Structure 1
Amino acid sequence: MNSIGQPIRRGIGGFADGIGYFFQGLGWVARHPRQWLFGLIPALISMVLYIVALVLLGNYAGDLASWATPFAGDWEPVLRDTLRFLLGLVAFALGLVLAVVTFTAATLAIGEPFYEKLSERVEEDMGGGVESADIPLWRSIIRSVRDSLITLAYVLMFTIPLFVLGFVPVVGQTVVPVLGAAVSGFFLTVELTALAMERRGLARKQRFAVLRGDRAPTLGFGVLVFLIFLIPLGAVVAMPAAVAGATIMVRTRLAPAVPPLR
């Protein structure tokens, strides 16, 4: 009983710790409102771009469904229109899911300079910055986009099958949402901790290894952020706090063994 119970308790404790790091980040931006406003700029830009993309998808979902089903052209009008309506609805729903899981990556890519400065400020407030290589901004952005695309490929590898399973009765309404939140939460943490981990010289594979090795706080932090991002405007408002909380988590738990600048 003890051998089973202890890992479970540690897992629950770690999950709660991950949640706590977000609230520490929220507390930090509450004490630094200018940094919060500073961090809103790229999130607002991303939001506008995603709204435009979703509106276009909604307007052309029917045309997309017609293009994908030429074989239904000779069907009875009711069957043909019903099929194409459902396919258009599925296409829009999938686009909405992809918007949620890619919003963070897109916002971090757009706001690389903004969030890099915010993350550095958090480090400075916690006792000093971390020495890092002087990488040109353009190269840093290219690397961020490349890593985000690789992470997106992993996300799609899980998200698309889960999206399909969501239509299975019972399983789609119980197991799939939990698994979906866990997968999305993990990869959100991957994206949000990238700035602080890169500052410590950790490449993408190393960052994945660190997060897998301390999975409970990784999921606790990411699942909470994922749920907040599902709230309308939640992703925009909470993005600066998520970046700050991720930096705190990296510094205090995931990769703390880096001496501060003196």
Structure 2
Amino acid sequence: MRDFVRGVRFFGQGLVMMLRSPRLLLIGALPAVLTALLLLGGMITLFYWLDDLSALVTPFADGWGESVRTAVRVAADVVLAGGALVLALLSFTALTLAIGGPFYEHIAEQVEDELGGAPDQVELSWLRLLWMGLRDGIVLVLRSLLYTIPLLVAGFVPVVGQTVVPVALALVTAWFLALELVSVPFYRRGMDLRQRRALLAGRRPLALGLGLPASLLCAIPLAAIVVMPVAFAGGVLVARETLRSSIDGFTRAG
């Protein structure tokens, strides 16, 4: 529980850092604005065709009574809309990171310089950072679907679907979001997705403390524009804490 609270505190510290530097906040907001516009267009299109999509995925209900058919297709609407929202949230960070890699690297550099600099820094070109962000973002979205799709289906189970499933879905979303938020500091040290996932797994409550408030706030329309640069600043703090504890553990073991 202590690590979770620390992660939430790091998110709050990220907010303080961004408020102290409105220029950094504006820089970090630009990629989020563009990504939000792209995903908003996709969601509007989905909702426009939602009834047709529900009928398409439930052809077995065509011959049923009107009330039962309506209930089944309303349930299909909920599953499709919920799945699209979760996918949009998960892909939002990946797309924002891919579009705004140089912006967030600049924020990470500024935050880490304020904290004393990044040891063992590896210089990355914009194209290299773009490729790593796209590659790892796609991997994370695909892996997250392995958890979110079964959870969305389980949402139809009485009682469990209204209690356990929303909590589990929130935690899964927070975990994968946290893996994205700490990516830039790890990239700057030449560490890939496999390495940062392994290190963060040892400090999972810390990662959830960052990812959970970020993911919940990103669900509020337009809030993500401010939340993203704040969360990435907090991600620098989480990454530094994770790396520091791993080095301390290695030193003690040695």
Q: State TM-score, norm by structure 1.
A: 0.87
Distance verdict in 2 for CA 1:41–1:198, change over 3 Å: same
> Which residue of 2 is the match for residue 196 of structure 1?
185
- Does structure 1 residue 145 correspond to structure 2 residue 119? no
Give % identity: 40
Give the Å deviation of 1:175. Answer: 1.3
CA contact (8 A) 2:29 2:228 kept: yes
1:255 aligns with 2:243: yes
Q: 2:3 aligns with which of 2, 11, 14?
A: 14
Contact between 2:4 and 2:209, CA under 8 Å: does it hold in 1? Answer: yes
Residue from 192, 207, 210 that aligns with 1:218? 207
User: Structure 1 residue 27 and structure 2 residue 2: aligned?
Assistant: no
Contact 2:3 2:209 in 1 (8 A): yes
Question: Which deviates the most, 232-241 or 118-127?
Answer: 232-241
Q: Does 1:228 align with 2:217?
A: yes
Letter in 2 for 1:219: L
Q: CA RMSD in A?
A: 2.0
User: 1:241 and 1:107 mapped to 2: Cα distance?
Assistant: 13
Which residue matches 2:252?
A: none
Match of 2:54, SS state, is helix
CA distance in 2, matches of 1:78, 1:164: 22
Do the aligned residues in 1 keep the contact of 2:122 with 2:189 (CA within 8 Å)? no
- Flag as ranges the 4+ runs of structure 1 deviating above 6 A: none
Q: In the TM superposition, what are the counterparts of 1:74-85 in structure 2 within 5 Å?
A: 74-75=63-64, 79-80=68-69, 83-85=72-74
With 226-235 and 240-249 compared, the bigger mean Cα shift is at 226-235
Cα 1:38–1:70 shift into 2, 3 Å = same
Question: How far apart are residue 85 of structure 1 and its match?
Answer: 4.4
Instruction: Tell me the distance in 2 between the aligned counterparts of 1:71 and 1:192.
Output: 42
- Partners of 1:71 and 1:180 in 2: CA distance: 28
Whole-angstrom CA distance in 1 between matches of 2:6 and 2:237: 11
Report how many aligned residue pairs link the two structures.
246
Residue 18 of structure 2 aligns to which amino acid in structure 1?
Answer: V
5+ residue gaps, structure 1: 1-11
CA contact (8 A) 1:22 1:245 kept: yes
Tell me how far 1:71 sits from its aligned partner: 4.5
Which stretch of structure 1 is more off in the superposition, 129-138 or 150-159? 129-138
On the 8 A contact 2:51/2:77 being kept in 1, the answer is yes
Q: For 1:127-180, what per-residue CA distance to the aligned partner results, in whole angstroms no more than 9, with x for missing partners?
A: 124443333322221121111111111111111111111222211222112211
Counterpart position of 2:113:
124
Q: 2:52 aligns with which of 63, 66, 69?
A: 63
Cα distance between partner residues in 2 of 1:97 and 1:13: 28
Q: Distance in 2 between matches of 1:81 and 1:23?
A: 45
Return closer, same or farther for 1:56/1:210 CA change in 2, 3 Å cut-off: same
User: Do residues 101 (structure 1) and 104 (structure 2) align?
Assistant: no
Amino acid at match of 1:233: L
* Alignment check: 8 A CA contact 1:61 1:89 kept: no
